[in-house]
Amino acid sequence: MSNELPLVSIVALCYNHAKYLEEALNSIANQSYANIQLIIVDDRSSDNSVELIQNWIDKNNIDCLFLPHEKNKGLCGSLNHGLKYIKGTYYQFLACDDVMLLEKIEKQVKVLETNPNLAVVHSNGYNINEHGVIGEKLHAKPLFTGDSKIVFKALLSENRISAPAVLIRTEMLPKAPVYDESSIFEDWALWLKLAKNYDFHYINEPLVHYRVLSTSMIRTEHIRKQVGVDAIAILEGYMGGNSEQDTIITKSIARLKEQYDLYDYTLGALLTGKTSLRKFKEALKFRTRIKNYFNKK
């Protein structure tokens, strides 16, 4: 490791990723950037991931921190656990089925080092399936970049930033806990918190491979719709800023409600014990707000 370069802390999160572990971890170990702190978190995998991780560490003589959970903490809980140990100037999260390309960290650190007002550098990438077949780019057109107001407004409409493509300036992270452990997914809420106060920069170059699996968490119906409920809750938290912002949010909520059929879902889930009364009341409130909004048009 080089002590002349800013330290980059990478939290690699594993949950039943045995098939892809070595590829993901090798993509970290083989980075062209020299000064990396690696923290590996296994969230109580039911496959042989823990054994494979330990074997990989031993075989490659890797200096890292390995945190195998005795109980499942979920995605956000696992990330918050890993974040307790980071020491770097910059922070990266990588699921252990995704892959960073060789110069990913080096290129993003260079941008952050020359632009102290930036909180986030993100990039393009490629989708990759479970068989390792590379598909389309994550973004056909360049994403938003620059001033926080522009980025924040764009993010209220849609979350198009892929988590593995991001490098974050650690000192600009929100106060702990960084991730909301009541939410089923990790990224959108964090991007909005950062964009509210800080600038972003986009590199229109593929620097990651983002794995899309037929067994991905979001592809199960119950989980997929819970993601929709959580997404709406995130957006609702930003209502009341100004009329333009509220219009964007209300349209986004309407789109999400239609996309996930959330009112019918949460009613059924409430009756079958799959969601809480609080979540159902939130969905009902959003449904009423959306209906009232479009009745005015």
Q: 250 and 152 in one domain? A: no
- Weakest-pLDDT range from 168-182, 193-207, 279-293: 279-293
Length of the chain: 297
* pLDDT, tens digit, 9 for 90 and up, residues 231-278: 999 999 999 989 999 999 999 998 888 776 655 545 555 555 655 666
Q: Cα-Cα-Cα-Cα dihedral of 209, 215, 221, 223, to 10°?
A: -70
Q: Which range marks the domain in which residue 70 is found? A: 8-215
Structure tokens at 229: 């409920």
* pLDDT, tens digit, 9 for 90 and up, residues 109-131: 999 999 999 999 999 999 999 99
- DSSP 8-class letter at 211: E
Structure tokens at 166: 């991001």
How many Å apart are CA 36 and CA 20, to the nearest integer? 21
- Structure pTM? 0.84
* The predicted structure's pLDDT at residue 269: 55
Q: For residues 152 and 244, is the Cβ–Cβ distance under 8 A?
A: no
Residue 3 lies in a domain: no
- DSSP 8-class letter at 41: E
Q: For residues 111 and 146, is the Cβ–Cβ distance under 8 A?
A: no
* The predicted structure's pLDDT at residue 184: 81
Structure tokens at 213: 């699996």
* The predicted structure's pLDDT at residue 4: 87
Q: 126 and 58 in one domain? A: yes
Q: 80 and 13 in one domain? A: yes
Overall number of domains in the chain: 2
263-266: long-range contacts, CB 8 A cutoff, minimum separation 24: 263/287, 265/225, 265/228, 265/229, 266/225, 266/229
Q: 272 and 188 in one domain? A: no
Mean per-residue pLDDT, 204-230: 77
* The predicted structure's pLDDT at residue 258: 76
Q: What is the pLDDT confidence band of residue 141, given thresholds at 50, 70 and 90?
A: confident
Residue 229 lies in a domain: yes
Residue 2 lies in a domain: no
Q: 230 and 197 in one domain? A: no
Mean per-residue pLDDT, 5-34: 98
Output the domain CATH number for residue 19: 3.90.550.10
